[in-house]
Amino acid sequence: MHIPDGFLATPVWGSLDVAAVPAVGLLVRRAQRGFDESKAPLLGVMGAFVFAAQMINFPVGIGTSGHLVGGALLAITLGPAAAGVVMTAILAIQALVFQDGGVLALGANVINMAVAGVLAGYLPFRYWGAGKWRKPAIFLGAMLSVLVSAVLALAQLLISGVAMPASVLGLSLALFVASAALEGAITLAVVQALETIQPGLVPKPQARGSFIRGALASAAVLLAVVGVLFASAQPDGLEKLAQNVGLSSQARVLFTTPLADYEAGFLRSPWLRKATAGMAGLVLIYAACVLFGRVVSRNRSS
């Protein structure tokens, strides 16, 4: 799920890098609270924990095993902003030191895993974590975090024109669902074990969460995921929308000017139009996530 360099089209990785900057800035501001840097070691050590945790194998039965990804676990125990910062740091180190994920693609990976994945992992717990729906909330959150990151990555690849016949697409989705379910099971098992050895480590969210809001939030995330997948697999529909809204012609002008000197021929290709239209969709969904996040955080602090 870590996208290497060379896979994404220029408008895709470019705009995701641009989108990631304010997103990460927001996460850092919320996680840091003012000028106090004393939480940096805690977040760093828990980031090292996530790395190390990937060495511990969880048997799935038929001779295979999986491991913890960790976004949801971090979100539940440290809070979503801190979890986002930890995941971003992890992704940077994975890209630089382990060549796991590209450097230009870092923005995409950060949006997929540190922003969307963490948020999706946290939402069910935020609303259902205090009551009798706590266990399903943890499972669902962890599942959604992996599913959302994977689907977003897949969508970005599709929009970039990476070939994916229907059979491969179907297989990928099946694998995503399976690994998402595994993440749910592992995260729930670890949280339960944690509560036995040191209950203070797993905070209780405010009891003000309602079942309806939680259900709505999870449904929204699922819808967004399905929507993104459909849109990216069939960019023509989005393109028509973009044309109607007058977006794609404006986009073409934007991209022609700075790159005209040495990429003129490339720009008039039909796939750039597809890519821009698909990007418009992604940007809209991203904006929705950010707004949603703001609403959630305002609820928390009030």
Write out the binding residues for another protein, residues 167-196 only, by CB under 8 A. Answer: 168, 185-186, 189-190, 192-194, 196
16 binds another protein (CB under 8 A): no
49 binds another protein (CB under 8 A): yes
| Nearest to another protein of 43, 279 (CB atom) | 43
> What Cα–Cα distance (Å) separates residue 131 from each residue in 33, 135, 210?
29, 9, 10
Say how many residues touch another protein, by CB under 8 A: 76
| Nearest to another protein of 163, 212 (CB atom) | 163
233 binds another protein (CB under 8 A): no
**Which segments of the chain does DSSP mark as H helices, in order?**
10-32, 40-53, 71-78, 80-97, 106-109, 118-128, 134-159, 166-197, 211-233, 235-244, 247-267, 270-301
Measure the CA–CA gap between 223 and 225, rounded to whole angstroms: 5
Shortest Å, Cβ 13 to another protein: 7
Footprint (CB under 8 A) of another protein, residues 196-225 = 196-198, 201
123-131, 223-231, 232-240, 256-264 -> range binding another protein (CB under 8 A): 256-264
One character per residue 77-106, x = contact with another protein (rule: CB under 8 A)? x-------xx-xxx-xx-xxxxx--xxx--
43 binds another protein (CB under 8 A): yes
What φ, ψ does residue 65 adopt, rounded to 5°?
Answer: -145, 160
Whether the Cβ atoms of residue 108 and residue 15 lie closer than 8 Å to each other: no
Shortest Å, Cβ 49 to another protein: 4
**Closest to 185 measured CA to CA, from 226, 215, 124, 143:** 143
Measure the CA–CA gap between 186 and 70, rounded to whole angstroms: 9
Shortest Å, Cβ 229 to another protein: 18
